[in-house]
Structure 1
Amino acid sequence: MSTEPETTEDAEPGTPGAENPPAGAAEGEGGEAGAEAGAGQLSEAEAELRAQQIERERIAQRKAEKRAPIEAGAKLSGTAADLLAAVRAVESGEKPAATVFAEPEPAPRRSAPEPVRRPQPVAAETVAASAAPAPEAVQAVRRVLAEGGAPEALAPQAAGALGEGADELLRADPWQLLRIAGVRPEQADGFARALLGAECGPDDERRGRAVTVWLLEQAALAGHTALELPALLAALAQRGVPDPDSAVQDTLAEGEALVFQDALEEPGAPAPVPAPTEDEDADEERPVRVLVGLERYALAEESLADGLARLVNSVPKQDGPAEEWERAAAAAQGSTAELIRAVAGHGLVLHTG
């Protein structure tokens, strides 16, 4: 028995045992597959061409839209759109211009109540104009100044400071010239000598009063609205007043200055004396210093002291508003809470930011 396999050459073509298929069958199957592949390739190409054609149409449409005229007022609204529509209606002839642009009749207005007018402050220029001296008064003062050798340019100031009859007052008391700002005692002395002649002297009581008021004015300009009596007497002696004490007394008697006492409570002041007995005067219980000041400054300081006293006495009581202040301070933070507590405990607080 032979063990070698049979060769394919012995197999006849077309037999079932042949391994190679018939040539026609192979060719037929290959032709159908090629036809199907060709049909698929044609479909994809057509789809691509179709997509390109759609894109070209879209681009052409966009170019056509850009070339078209833009409609004006397309994005307007409200009053602007109404106005544009009215203009177009007039242009097209649908409506006459008179009817479109005629102003509507205003609605009847209600009469508003007349506001309460607050009194307006008078301007400084108006006050100055009303307080300006008359030209005749200024001319009369100018003649007196010329007689005394004083500058005639001081006439308006002198007439305004001395008031009505300033010329007669200067003739009767030439040292009243010291009431004008910038005039010094030496200049007033020369003016008085020119007007009074032999009647003028350093011991004239008119000079003593005028120099006393002038010294108090200069002290007020420097920030001292009152002078201690010893300091004022020393200054009068330096200005050549023979009797400074009499000059001060005359000034107080005329009401041009006020005198008041201030208790010595500053550190280093003399200790208060023991309580007085029945035979001693109670006024000597505490040492005081005597101060002299001009009336207007003294009254202004007295009014200020009264106002400060009311503030000090307005501190909230512990059983009332003090609790509300404490709640407000507790709700605050930092320095604000400290400031609230300071205001609650003191009627007058100085706060520096």
Structure 2
Amino acid sequence: MSTEPETTGDAEPGTPTGGAGTEADAPDAGQVSEAEAELRAQQAERERIERRKAEKKGPVESGGKLSGKAADLLAAVRAVESGEKPAATVLAEPGPAPRRSAPEPVRRPQPVTAEAVATSAAPAPETVRAVRGLLGEGGAPEALAPQVAAALGEGADEQLRADPWQLLRIAGVRPEQADGFARALLGAECGPDDERRGRAVTVWLLEQAALAGHTALEMPALLTALAQRGVPDPDRAVQDTIAEGEALVFQDALEETGATPARTEEEDAEAEERPVRVLVGLERYALAEESLADGLARLVNSAPKQDGSTEEWERAAASAQGSAGELIRTVAAHGLVLHTGGEASLAEPAALLHAARSLGLRAWAATHGPIGRDRFATLLGRSGGPTGPGTNEA
């Protein structure tokens, strides 16, 4: 049996652990104070250790640091264990949460189809009924009512009664048919010299010319056509049409042909006005053609300076065969060239592309689709040009 006093594991080695007799053994007062302080510290540490041991032996309070759904679930389990609530009520699965209405999606603007445009531009039913009644009164086909109402717009029946020759605005209607309709409505007031008839026939002739590919007619040709349609005063009919803004008149300067003889200053002053031809056309066609001409003129004027010497281009043109040489010479001398033709004309652009590349120029050919690209690549191979990727672009 050991005779050493029992010590705790928390005491540091070499420190006294005795009771009240320790102070009496101290040599002086200063050492007694330090020993007392050390004993008090050890006693406080023992008390702390005993408290921790007692806490470990007691029930552990679990879930003290839980929050949210975990804390709610723990509280429900404890309520069931204590008998406060039945398990069926607490552990039953919650019902589905009420659905919230989804916000309206942002609708992007959709392209307007032709059918939608036709539907939105459809004339009002009452307008169509009024026009149908008027057409029946004049002996015209009532099936034309929707077209007439769409062409003349609101109040189409009133416009058509005031000017029966407006029926010529409808595709397929001829002047003699419009004349019969006008006679049925106007009676004795209808005559071939009616200015309304002259304007309507003028516009109709310009429409027919546009369908044939002529956006404008020369004034003499238009006057002749009006006379053939029974217009007594064609010149007045054209002037009335221009005054009403239904047609436009243009002047196209004529190029002088032949050698110009030497003239004095007085003769030059008298010849300042060059000869012109007068053209008449509908506004929408004439302006479209004029806009296209202006665009082509800007393209011609913006063309870069010719690359390669004239001798090199001439040698390339001489080495080509037939019309291909002519195309090469034309391209060398002009900034913009229009080349037309059928399937056989593909060989000339192929020769042109080969000639440009032989001069060290960067040249491309654009084709409409893969079939044209393959055919053109074959032609380039025959002409000796490269046929790899990038030779021609679709």
Equivalent position to 2:146, from 142, 152, 156:
156
Counterpart of 2:167?
177
Equivalent position to 2:290, from 302, 310, 319:
302
Q: 1: CA distance between counterparts of 2:262 and 2:230?
A: 38
Counterpart of 1:311?
299
Amino acid at match of 2:266: T
Shift of 1:317: 2.7
Over residues 74-121 of structure 1, what are the superposed CA-to-partner deviations in whole Å (9 max), with x where a residue is unaligned?
Answer: xxxxxxxxxxxxxxxxxxxxxxxxxxxxxxxxxxxxxxxxxxx99764
**Cα distance change of structure 1 residues 150 and 265 upon mapping to structure 2, 3 Å threshold:** same
Counterpart of 2:337?
349
Equivalent position to 1:251, from 233, 241, 249:
241
- Larger mean CA deviation between 339-348 and 144-153 belongs to 339-348
**Cα distance change of structure 1 residues 344 and 241 upon mapping to structure 2, 3 Å threshold:** same
Match runs of 1:1-353 below 5 Å: 121-265=111-255, 277=266, 285-317=273-305, 322=307, 346-351=334-339, 352-353=345-346
Counterpart of 2:39?
none
Q: 2: CA distance between counterparts of 1:315 and 1:344?
A: 12
Q: 1: CA distance between counterparts of 2:261 and 2:177?
A: 46
Q: Secondary structure at the match of 2:127?
A: helix
**Cα distance change of structure 1 residues 233 and 274 upon mapping to structure 2, 3 Å threshold:** farther
Q: 1: CA distance between counterparts of 2:223 and 2:275?
A: 20
Q: Secondary structure at the match of 1:259?
A: strand
Shift of 1:345: 5.9
Q: 2: CA distance between counterparts of 1:317 and 1:211?
A: 50
Q: Secondary structure at the match of 2:226?
A: helix
**Cα distance change of structure 1 residues 286 and 126 upon mapping to structure 2, 3 Å threshold:** same
Q: 1: CA distance between counterparts of 2:329 and 2:109?
A: 39
Counterpart of 1:82?
none
**Cα distance change of structure 1 residues 282 and 127 upon mapping to structure 2, 3 Å threshold:** farther
Q: 2: CA distance between counterparts of 1:201 and 1:189?
A: 9
Unaligned ranges ≥5, structure 1: 1-116
Amino acid at match of 1:315: A
Over residues 249-271 of structure 1, what are the superposed CA-to-partner deviations in whole Å (9 max), with x where a residue is unaligned?
Answer: 00000011111111222868x97
Q: Give TM-score scaled by structure 2 length.
A: 0.51
Q: 2: CA distance between counterparts of 1:119 and 1:312?
A: 39
Q: 2: CA distance between counterparts of 1:256 and 1:273?
A: 44
Percent of residue pairs bearing the same amino acid type: 83
Name the count of aligned residue pairs: 227
Q: Secondary structure at the match of 2:179?
A: helix
Q: Secondary structure at the match of 2:249?
A: strand
**Cα distance change of structure 1 residues 350 and 196 upon mapping to structure 2, 3 Å threshold:** same
Amino acid at match of 2:176: E
Q: Secondary structure at the match of 1:277?
A: helix
Shift of 1:274: 5.5
